[in-house]
Structure 1
Amino acid sequence: MGLKQNKGGKRKVMYVLIIFITIMIVMVFVIDKIVSLKTKDYIFDDVDKIPANRVGVVLGTSKKLKNGNNNYYFIYRIQAAKKLYDAGKVSFFIVSGDNSSKEYNEPQDMKDDLVLAGITQDSIYLDYAGFRTLDSVIRTKDVFGQNTFTLISQKFHNERAVFLAQQYGLNAIGYNAKDVNAYYGFKTMAREKLARVKLLLDLLVNKKPKYGGEKIELP
């Protein structure tokens, strides 16, 4: 009798676990779809079709991978920013990324490569505290005083960033940098699904950027 009860109890636990995992998987895919649908009219691939904004925000990523190889997410974002600049669709850039140590400085790396690409130094402003997409978006408003701007990253990242901006009443659009191939970007795409769930949780608890800072005025 005791053995049967033990087996029955294990089955119930197993069923509950399966139901819980199924709900979590469905929730992840539903949230992912909502973010994509809500932002599809504000995301652009064609530089000729995207509306012009005075300010573009290049979202940060590391210049190099951990193995020392080039990070193509970084390279393609620089190229996308240059296209907007050359087409007259953006006049100033905020490069927003992680500068958590002296040895790791995403904003400076982005600025250096933008200058090498032919963008004037006085057109580029550095946000050293863009540790997360949430920080980058909110600091664009709170620190740099911008309510209207163009986000520059890969499509999956732009969707999340534009969705976040919409929740704070900001007039943001996204210009999609070239994406990497499926094999190269598989882990990133998997993390993105979870990042979108985390995004909604951050909104529910009214998450704030890690750092504020003095106001920086753009011309």
Structure 2
Amino acid sequence: MIKKIGIAVLLGVLAIALILFSCNKIINKATKNRTYWNIQNIPKNRVGLVLGTSNKLVGGGSNPYYTNRIKATLELFTAGKIDYILVSGDNSTQYYNEPTVFKKDLVQGGIPSEKIFLDYAGFRTLDSMVRAKHIFGLDSVTIISQKFHNERAIYLAEKKGLYAIGFNADGISLNQGLKVQIREYFARVKVFIDLTLNTQPKFFGDKIEIK
């Protein structure tokens, strides 16, 4: 009996590992050569879509994922690779507002306020991609986040009819970001679940033209 339970557990673990590996491989293959590190090589897009995250860590320190996305966005705009910026993030409570915080730091970095548009209902990457197309009317976009996040976002965008490339913000060391990297594997499995179930954004709302 104990032996059978052990075998069942082992098979379950192997099945989970296979699913994680397969989903990761599919997304990596589909987005190969669609993300860029070099500002000179990335094609121009009218709009850059920066994906939200908290500017602070749980302990209160600065979040390097946030600061590096700000830096990457400023680099793209300064180099003339984007004309407008759409910040898509979580504004689930009056005390937590990712888009507004991003805008403040981008304006402080030299980007004119009128060039920045805010999507307050980007609760998940899926929401951000669907809303970029259907609410903000975009057909193509440059996504700005860390490479692993860009790949997942590009894959989702493609499946939702939005052509996307990615500009990779710097990440952090594997040791520091291990928890995030592990979570990413499960997030990639969730991509296929959402696509199978045709999961929709939490909110749609009125259309907003970026001009």
Q: CA offset at residue 180 of structure 1? A: 1.1
Q: Classify the secondary structure of the residue corresponding to 1:107.
A: helix
- Cα deviations across residues 60-95 of structure 1 (Å, max 9, x unaligned)? 000101110000000000000011101110000000
Structure 2 equivalent of residue 189 of structure 1: 181
- Summarize the alignment of residues 92-171 of structure 1 with structure 2, pairs less than 5 Å apart: 92-171=84-163
> 1 or 2, which has the higher helix percentage?
1
Q: State the TM-score, normalized to the length of structure 1.
A: 0.94
SS, match of residue 70 in structure 1: coil
User: Which residues of 2 match residues 1-219 of structure 1 at below 5 A?
Assistant: 9-219=1-211
Q: Is contact 2:129–2:162 with CA below 8 Å preserved after alignment?
A: no
- Native 8 Å contact 2:129 2:160 kept in 1: no
Tell me how far 1:33 sits from its aligned partner: 1.5
Distance 1:185 1:116 in 2: 28
In 1, the alpha carbon distance for the partners of 2:112 and 2:15 equals: 50
- The size of the alignment, in residue pairs, is 211
In structure 1, distance between residues paired with 2:174 and 2:12: 29
Post-superposition offset of 1:36 = 1.0
Name the residue aligned to 1:6: none
User: Partner of 1:184: helix, strand, or coil?
Assistant: coil
Structure showing greater Rg: 1
Unaligned segments of structure 1, at least 5 residues: 1-8
* Comparing 60-69 and 175-184, the one that deviates more: 175-184
Q: Is the 8 A contact 2:48 2:142 kept in 1?
A: yes
Q: Which runs of 5+ in 2 are unaligned?
A: none
TM-score, structure 2 as length reference? 0.98
Structure-1 separation of matches of 2:124 and 2:45: 23
DSSP 3-state at the match of 1:50: coil
Cα-Cα RMSD: 0.8
How far off is 1:16 after superposition?
1.6
